[in-house]
Structure 1
Amino acid sequence: MNYSTIKKTAVAASLVAALGFAETAQAQTPTVFGGRGQYRTWSIGVQGGITTPNTILGGQNGFGQKVGYFQNKVGEYYGLTIRKQFSHLFGLELEGNRGRIKTYNHEMVTTPETANGARSAETAVNWAASLNGVFQLGTIDFMRRENAVNFYAKVGMGVMAHNPVQYSTTDFSGTPVYNNEGNWGEEVFGDRTDVGDRDNRLTGFIPVGVGVKFKLSEVVALNLGYTMNFTDDNLLYGPVRYDGKQKFSNLYGGLEFTLGSRDKENLTFTNPVATLYDELKDPSLRNEVEALKQRVSTLEGTVDQLSKDSDGDGVSDKFDKCPGTPAGTVVDGSGCPIKFPEQQLTDGTVSSGYYAPIQFEFDSSVLKTESYATLDKLAQELKANNSNVTLDGYASAEGTEAYNMNLSNDRANAVKQYLVNAGVSASSITATGYGEANPVASNATEEGRIQNRRVEIKK
């Protein structure tokens, strides 16, 4: 394993350990991706406003024959809400209201609108209850961590109990000409008879609305909204000449109170991308990241010191017992030169020099640059001792024997030419190619073939 691999492995191990520690800390005190449990999700609200006997979609009702005509009578409407927020986008709301809806014939002030001679009517909504799905819009904000304003839309289904009263005048001050309270189920309207005695008429309706929510504090929010209510009743105002499903709308304002611990964030105003800013906003998380960076930096410095090799002999300075070894010297695991048996030179002197075979690439007789130091040292010794040298070239077993013979001869002559260029007399060098002969390793493996592509130096 080389030192580059050691360095990468050590850094990776440190990162894994540090991240594991951080995950353990987060598991003990969850601050990110903790699910709904880390938020406040329940709220209650009070609201009040006005009703009108029409909607912004236009159309007509029992006391307005002109399409889209605005009948400028309003009634009071107030109630309570209970809501459970399931995500930043969706919640379920139980809503209860009561109040009055007023209407009158604006155009036909001289002609009764009903067979009862009524020109105006009001419906007392004794109670109305609905279950609504609330869809929050625009909760994602890339510029701020927390939202203060949310828009929403809602739709639901409900039931209300009401009693219509009709008057002969348009100011609701006259004597009622129709009031069936307590007698529902005893009158026949067209081809339908309401069965059963009860104080109120029960009617199904579908509320569809929009609104805006303002965050006043961590507990209180201000709601402003508009809801259209489409009923399943053509007797919302009592029997009239226009026999169609009636509708009304209500405009309201109210306060909403979030329940639960103030230590938890309100899911209604949660910004889903806020977790992207945690490293910048959460001091403890930022400190952990900075501490991790320092640990990694320290570890990298230690690894660099362990891998430093000043003399380039392949043994790091920390473990090198023989620093300053000349380039090209064959060393052992402690960085010290390997001692070889002494050799008798032709002039009678003794040399302890040993020269490893010169290696070549596959199908090549080009010298590798890493061989230059060895050959320079050999040239100096040959010139100093005026000695002779024999160069035996070899090839691995790929190719034909004739081709490998020529290749081995080219390799031997490549070494000879380098020595001649270095000042060694050509007559003192014998270069011979032996092809595939005398392999030093098996030609069945690439490792063995690499060793066989060589020139041996003999003195």
Structure 2
Amino acid sequence: MKKTMLRWVICAMTASPLLSVAQSTEPTPNSHSSLFGGGGMNYRTFSIGINGGITAPSVLIGGSNDFTKSLISYGYGAYAKWQILHFFSLRADYMGGRLKGDQSRELGDGSKPNRAVESFETKLKWTASLSGVFNFATINWAYRKPIAQLYASVGGGLAGYSPTIKPAGGTETDYKTDGNIQELIIPVGAGIKFRLNDFMNLDLGYTMNFTDGDNLDGFKYGTAKDKFSYGYAGLEFALGSRTKPQLQWHNAPAVMYDDLAAQRDRLKAELDAANANNAKLAADVAKLQTDSDGDGVSDIFDKCPDTKAGDKVDGSGCPLPKPEVVKPPVQVIITDDDRRLVRNAIDNLEFETGKSNIKPKSYASLDEVASLLTRKNLSLKLAGHTDNTGNRALNMRLSKDRAESVKAYLVGKGVNPSRIEATGYGQDQPIATNKTAAGRQQNRRVEFTIY
């Protein structure tokens, strides 16, 4: 099954470039009845598709399930689609396959996961869903006929599956003894489609399926619901008469361009017939283009014909209001009382042990600093420091987090965040010896510098 499906996908992808080049020289399709398309009388609106590809018990947005490693497996599917507008369709999908995963990947700290189940394999017997598909970027101006389109889809449905799990140190067993599990799913996907010819398209896509439960892998670990993904390649076949174009490839901008070009040609012919006196027409055009004051607005439309050179004007040729001259900022003097207020905040600042959480007893003095900064529009530099106890990298991060914590508190009190600079120096700038408890206490600090 896997080898047959793989050969089918490789053949389809190999044929795609050749067929795309061949179709790009085809003539413009039949005339369209409306700008945005619609109506089964002029287009083929129904199609079916088959596909095959790979599955995984993880998604690009949302991560994996309850196992540390998602294993690649296979899947297959088919769908029927109704194209309502050239950019929107309804698609009914069926999909089946298998999903695999185990606990072989190490955790973030380098340790092996110690979980009750070490691997699983789920037989995805079927999924049935109905999705809305939105087409965009389907324009190819070079040949006036789209050869590729991007699409996105979202919908809802139901999945039926049966997981088999292998407990740690045990043998494989069925997760549920009563057979199939059925749960709601929300499929969200995207892909690219290539028009191979007038009745067949190459479809490359990726779908993320979010289930309404935590049974997909037969193991409940944490509170997150399970999900799985399906990346596929397939063929889509349009149903109906081959004399009609596919609605999904209808090029609305090209139709609009043709209509406007036809109107332009018709109006030009009428204008040429109505203006036999070419000399008068040339004089009128010259008058229309005359701009005596050089402001970019023709004299006919210029309500202020004597604009000074270099002045910026509006659509009627009148000068725009000139920007007000910004006065230099008033210099603010930092007083001794201001500095005492800041020193008081430094002396009263305390954090939870080994954390960046500010203790409530420090709030009052920090509120006074926030009031000073906003009242006098001052700037503040925060420098976080630690003693040399513990890991240097952790100390550097802790000092930075504590400075950022003070900044966040002051910003929450209305201080402009661009006026505060928060920096962490770790254990590299002690002001006392680290050999005594008193010295280490002095080194654990956040310095305030106002300017």
Q: TM-score range, shorter-chain basis? A: 0.3 to 0.5
Give TM-score, length-normalised by structure 2.
Answer: 0.47
| TM-score, with length taken from structure 1 | 0.46
| Larger Rg, first or second structure (1 or 2) | 1
